[in-house]
Amino acid sequence: MAKREDAQAMRIMIVDDHELFRNGLRYQLAHIDPSMEIVEADTFHDAIHLAGSAPRLDKVFLDVMIPDMDWREALLALRDRPEPPDVVVVSGVGDARIIRAAIDHGACGFIPKSLKGDILESALRLVLVGGFSIAPQGVTPAVGGLTLAAGGLGGGAVGVAEDVPLTPRQREVLNHIHAGLSNRQIAQAMTLSEATIKMHIGRLFKVLGAQSRTDALAVARRKGVL
pLDDT digits (tens, 9 = 90+) for 75-103: 999 988 878 899 999 988 767 788 888 88
Higher model confidence: residue 2 or residue 60? 60
Q: Please write down the long-range contacts of 201-204, taking CB distance under 8 Å and 24 or more positions apart.
A: 201/173, 201/177, 203/170, 204/166, 204/170, 204/173, 204/174
Distance CA 131, CA 150 (A): 7
Q: What would the mean pLDDT of 143-152 be, rounded to a whole number?
A: 39
pLDDT of 139 over the 50 cut? no
**pLDDT category, 42, cuts 50, 70, 90?**
very high
Mean pLDDT of the chain: 79
Domains of the chain: 11-160 (3.40.50.2300), 163-226 (1.10.10.10)
pLDDT score of 135: 58
Is the whole-model pTM more than 0.75?
A: no
Longest dimension (CA), the chain: 52
**pLDDT category, 164, cuts 50, 70, 90?**
low
Q: What would the mean pLDDT of 116-123 be, rounded to a whole number?
A: 81
**pLDDT category, 180, cuts 50, 70, 90?**
confident
Distance CA 117, CA 83 (A): 32
